[in-house]
Structure 1
Amino acid sequence: MFAFVVAAVFLLLFAAGVLRDRRRFGNAVYLGLAVTFLGIGLLAGIDDAPPGVAETVMIVGLLVLGLGPVVLAALLCTNGVKMVRKEGRRPANLLALLAGLGMFALMGLAIAAAVTRSPALGVLVGTTLLVLAYVSFLFLCFVGYAYLYGRMRIRRDADYVVVLGSGLVGGHRVPPLLASRLDRGRQVYEMLAARGGDAPVLITSGGQGPDEALPESHAMADYLVERGFPAGAVLREDRSRTTEENMLRSKELMERDRPGSSCVIVTNNFHAFRAALTARRAGLDGQVVGSPTAAYFWPSATIREFVAVFLQYKVVNLGICLTLILLGVLAWAVR
């Protein structure tokens, strides 16, 4: 019963957080804690379930704990190889592969600790599992809430649509990933324009990289205009180099022309929640929506987004991880 009460408290905190501001990572943690304590409450009452339910839950749990990590590691490695073949060997494209290999390495280490009965290996594995459990919990919170955030209704009172840039192919051509953002941005623009009143303005946001022949925002605007989008409705923000600068520079343009205005920000769906967190920090009154992305791109991209968010709160997160490691060292010292 206590677990259900705690779950209800966290669910209320989650609801209050969403009503106050959807763009908070705390909302994801509250939701994750609510689901966790709800699960604990259900498991605690499993003895009162109809005959056969407890046995079924136990079998399923053992299968998930035993085979789940192996299957997940294999899928990550397979996806990682595909990602490298399609997108190249940039560090960001290796994340799924490295995560899968890391899981296999940890499983091998656990087997070695069990076979050798080495206390040192046992403490190392236990400490690593504690840190991994904490990071995995945050990762599941991030993925779950990002999924919900991406399905929230688009506001209909925005004055601007801001499309975030990404790299250009060959230094001048819009790649499929960026084209997806622009097509989605156009859809949002047309929805807002249909409301009546003052027409919105679409901002293409992106500066010029060292290997690019022109600013990303110019290539993005050209892509839209060549496909019939009204040139007079496009504003080019061509000084930003990062997502945070996208937000700040676009905000400057909006405040210059329409002080106090709001916007809808468009990026790819895997990037939407982190972009929303960034928009909140930049003081931008904007909801973030995502555009479709190829399925094979998701695992590495999602891991990359989570790592970036994890490091945004590095004082708390690294502090907790360090505390768990110190507990492992203490356990080794007093064994």
Structure 2
Amino acid sequence: MPAPVDVLLAVAGVALLLLALRSSKVEPRRWRNGVLVTGSLWAASALALDVLSPATPAVAVLALPWLAAVVLGLLFVGGAVSAAVRDGRGLAGMLAIVLGVAMVAATVLATAAALAGHPLPVAGVTVLLLPGYPGLAFISYLLYCLLQRRADARPAPVAVVVLGSGLVDGTVPTLLANRLDAAIEVWRAERGAGRAPLVLPSGGQGDDEPMPEGVAMAAYLVARGLPTSAVATEDRATTTEENLLLSREILRSRSLAEDGHLRVVTSSYHVGRSALITRSLGIDADVTGSPAAWHFVPSAFLREFLAAVTYRPRTNVAGLLLWACGVALLAYAAWPS
């Protein structure tokens, strides 16, 4: 690539980073914040590789998508293998392994062909480069979540909504207890400042649960010192979206929904998608995370990413089509054929 292109990459990288920082400060609950940072990193990596090896412009441009695709593919395989060891083999796990292996294999073949200058038809290059889009989407979601978690939660919420995560043998497991303990800390801090927000545990009853999650969560809170007057129970929700919508109904019945913002408490890996959903529903909320076991986080975060992708299917289908058109153009212009 000629020197003017390097200058353009440098300017684009800095501009995208500044836009990301400004956007995340104005509204941290936007996935586009992570997209902007990914664009900045992409420009920086392309610039660095072009300076080091100006004879391979296609490799410089595609290095980050290739890396991202391989990482995501390996996460699919690793998560499926881990689940199979823990819970036994299943169809979903086998499909995840096939998908992960296919992503890694296609990316490795494309990389080898580009480095060797091996001629390939445009259609073949486009197919081999398709995993780059979900790879970039994953990187952008990860960066969005990191930016979102750095946002400072505002004081004085009118209520603290605790999202349920399932009971084990009718009792509150460690993962859910961590969420409730984090909500207790928020309530005590607010109480120390002379305020008393409502604490609203939310969760319905699963087929394998003897009682609704919200009921067990409320009992946990009261047993640890919260007065019953400070706790309201939501016991019908089965999804994160229902957690938030049904909790808002309870707050509206108490004339609290319009009085200020909420604090939503969930596990660390679940913060990003929960924040996206609060914004989509028009709920003014800060979302904060509680600890989760380190060995549980990678597979749980991967599931969150997939759920976030399907939450905006049209956007991601459009993104995949644009990516396919872009790589086809790149293959036609820069790939030997």
**For this structure pair, what is the TM-score category when the shorter chain's length is used for normalisation?**
0.7 to 0.9
Task: Using the TM superposition, give the Cα deviation of residue 230 of structure 1 relative to its aligned residue in structure 2, in angstroms.
Answer: 2.5
Give the 3-state SS of the residue equivalent to 1:161 in structure 2.
strand
The CA deviation string for residues 65-92 of structure 1, in whole angstroms up to 9 with x for no partner, is 9999889866764554334444666777
Asked if the contact 2:198/2:230 (under 8 Å) is kept, the reply is yes
* CA distance in 1 between partners of 2:65 and 2:277 (Å): 36
- Specify the alignment match of 1:191 in structure 2: 189
Q: In structure 1, what residue type is equivalent to 2:45?
A: G
Matched, 1:297 2:286: no
Task: Using the TM superposition, give the Cα deviation of residue 132 of structure 1 relative to its aligned residue in structure 2, in angstroms.
Answer: 1.0
Superposition RMSD on alpha carbons, in Å? 3.8
* CA distance in 2 between partners of 1:37 and 1:10 (Å): 9
- Specify the alignment match of 1:51 in structure 2: none
Match of 2:253 among 235, 247, 256: 256
For structure 2, the residue ranges without an aligned partner over 5 or more in a row are: 1-6, 55-62
- Specify the alignment match of 2:58 in structure 1: none
* CA distance in 2 between partners of 1:76 and 1:137 (Å): 15
For structure 1, the residue ranges without an aligned partner over 5 or more in a row are: 48-53, 55-62
Aligned ranges 1:303-314 → 2 under 5 Å: 303-314=302-313
The alignment-based identity, stated in percent, is 37
Match of 2:199 among 199, 202, 205: 202
- Specify the alignment match of 2:82 in structure 1: 82
* CA distance in 2 between partners of 1:231 and 1:145 (Å): 37
* CA distance in 2 between partners of 1:94 and 1:40 (Å): 35
Match of 1:247 among 231, 244, 248: 244
* CA distance in 1 between partners of 2:173 and 2:92 (Å): 17
* CA distance in 2 between partners of 1:27 and 1:95 (Å): 31
Residues 65 and 242 from structure 1, CA distance in 2 versus in 1: closer, same or farther, beyond 3 angstroms? closer
Residues 206 and 89 from structure 1, CA distance in 2 versus in 1: closer, same or farther, beyond 3 angstroms? farther
- Specify the alignment match of 2:175 in structure 1: 177
Q: In structure 2, what residue type is equivalent to 1:240?
A: A
Task: Using the TM superposition, give the Cα deviation of residue 217 of structure 1 relative to its aligned residue in structure 2, in angstroms.
Answer: 0.3
Task: Using the TM superposition, give the Cα deviation of residue 326 of structure 1 relative to its aligned residue in structure 2, in angstroms.
Answer: 7.4
Task: Using the TM superposition, give the Cα deviation of residue 313 of structure 1 relative to its aligned residue in structure 2, in angstroms.
Answer: 2.2
Matched, 1:275 2:274: yes
Task: Using the TM superposition, give the Cα deviation of residue 225 of structure 1 relative to its aligned residue in structure 2, in angstroms.
Answer: 1.9
- Specify the alignment match of 1:4 in structure 2: 10
Matched, 1:140 2:139: yes
Aligned ranges 1:6-85 → 2 under 5 Å: 6-46=12-52, 77-78=77-78, 80-85=80-85
TM value normalised by structure 1: 0.78
Residues 76 and 283 from structure 1, CA distance in 2 versus in 1: closer, same or farther, beyond 3 angstroms? closer
Question: Which stretch of the first structure deviates more once superposed, 289-298 or 72-81?
Answer: 72-81
- Specify the alignment match of 1:232 in structure 2: 229
TM value normalised by structure 2: 0.78
Question: Which stretch of the first structure deviates more once superposed, 216-225 or 255-264?
Answer: 255-264
